[in-house]
Amino acid sequence: MSKRDVGFSNYVREFLHNKMGLVGLTILIILLIFTVIALSIPAHVYSSWNNPAAWSEYPEHVPPSWMSIFYPNRYFTTQQLFPINLSLYSPAKGIYISLVVFSFNWTRSLPAYNVYFVISTNTTPIEEIVYWTKPDGNTIQISVPNEDFNVPFDLTSVRSNIITYISSITGKTPNIVNSTILSSALFNSPKSNLTVIEDGKYVVKIEIIATKPLNITRASLLLLGNSYGLMGTDYFGRPIDLGVLLGLPNALEIGALTSLVSVIVGVIVGGISGYLGGNKDSFIQWITLVFLALPALPFLVAVSFVTEPNLELEALLIAFLSWPFYAIIARSMALSIKSNSYVEADKLLGIPSYRIFFTHFMPRLIPITVAYMALGVPAGILLAQTLAFLGIAPANIVTWGGILDAAETYQAQVNGWWWWVVFPGAMIVIVAIPFVLIGFAIERVTLGER
């Protein structure tokens, strides 16, 4: 930018004409829109992230649903069914029966991952029975335990009846009992010894018996698929896309706060050091190098263990270790500005040093300060996510590093759950991109093409 073009409006105009800056700004606006969406999510969703029971109705460690586009015979998504018929009657005095009927056609080559029964009434039943009728007319009768009345329950809650059914067909009791084995018993044909899927029309009837007049307040059937959402689910069934979204606000907050504090402190200290020169400059540089020599990660880990994990404190600690980088750059620029004739002229005229500093140095340091603020955000985000990966993060927030830490704990790589690692890791890179582009664009506008 030429001298006649100086001015804030011209800086903005030059920046908007820079393709790199424009792309970075566009990505940043998109991220901010998603941040607003994340902040509008109710607080109880954030707090329930670390409660595995809250995600029991989601399929566990399944890949993204778009995998079914490429492998339609291997993956399918969850289906939620509602009753096709609901009848109430009283066969005797003081006995009330409600019959909830579901029906669906199953044409998949695999059984559902799990089945969730969601039935709630206005009173506590005395008995609840599920009749699962297959396309060939064979019916499995399942008694629901008392503790599952009026709460959603899955196949593992009613395993005893299903295991008995498996034993009656195969003559063996399965050594491993999980939702997949239990679901296979419901969907596979007994003629094939429960090894081949039975496609066709299924009818599920739920009979609820009570001693008081019944009113069904909630009724649905969840046939869990083996894929889910945009990014799949983790070991507990938590949607990865939701975790990535919940982690976005705090990632941007800690990155921006870290960069803001460290760049401001670094530029002021470095600028003063370069302006003063002599022994004072040497002393400030010695202090700067001492901070620069501190091993950042071990230092942060040690401090975090003796303090209560806190987002703002974590940002300040990272800024405490980051400012020397910017101080060295600012000192170099200050030494260059100091050699200009107008600075020497002001000194000869007896103008106070603080006025010279704020008149000639700070206006020339501020543009590059803004550039390095943008460039410093990714470093802050990366260091904060690294701490979260090591298990050092506030307990009440969701972090991408924390998601990666859980993936490592449950050996996602070994088990082939690649989506649990790829998407949170990719988000750390994606969030860094706009700040790098904007930082480089501001640097080009202020210093010219290099």
DSSP string for 108-169? -SS--SEEEEEEEESS--SEEEEEEE-TTS-EEEEEPPGGGTTS-EEGGGGHHHHHHHHHHH
C-alpha 4 chain-centroid distance: 47
Cα gap 166→172, rounded to integer Å: 7
Beta strands in 298-363 (DSSP E): none
Cα gap 128→121, rounded to integer Å: 11
User: What pLDDT does 443 receive?
Assistant: 79
Task: Report whether 201 contacts 226 (CB < 8 A).
Answer: no
User: What pLDDT does 134 receive?
Assistant: 94
Cα gap 57→238, rounded to integer Å: 10
Q: Which token pair is 258?
A: 């870290």
Give which of 375, 380, 365 is closest to 327, Cα–Cα.
365
User: What pLDDT does 2 receive?
Assistant: 46
Task: Report whether 253 contacts 311 (CB < 8 A).
Answer: yes
| Alpha helical stretches, state H, 207-239 | none
Task: Report whether 398 contacts 413 (CB < 8 A).
Answer: no
Task: Report whether 36 contacts 204 (CB < 8 A).
Answer: no
pLDDT in tens, the chain (450 residues): 444 455 667 777 777 778 888 899 999 999 999 999 999 999 888 889 988 888 888 888 999 999 988 988 889 998 999 999 999 988 888 899 999 999 999 988 889 989 999 999 998 899 999 999 999 999 999 999 988 888 899 999 999 999 999 999 988 888 888 888 999 999 999 888 888 999 999 999 999 999 988 889 999 999 999 899 999 999 999 999 999 999 999 999 988 998 889 888 988 898 888 888 888 888 998 988 888 887 777 777 777 777 776 777 888 888 888 888 888 888 888 888 888 888 878 878 878 888 888 888 888 787 777 778 888 888 888 888 888 888 877 777 899 999 999 999 999 988 999 999 999 999 999 999 999 898 888 878 776 655
0.85 cut: is pTM over it? no
- For the packed helices 400-409 and 362-389, what is the interaxial angle rounded to 10 degrees? 30
Task: Report whether 406 contacts 234 (CB < 8 A).
Answer: yes
In the chain, helix, strand, coil percent, each to 5?
Answer: 55, 15, 25
Task: Report whether 321 contacts 376 (CB < 8 A).
Answer: no
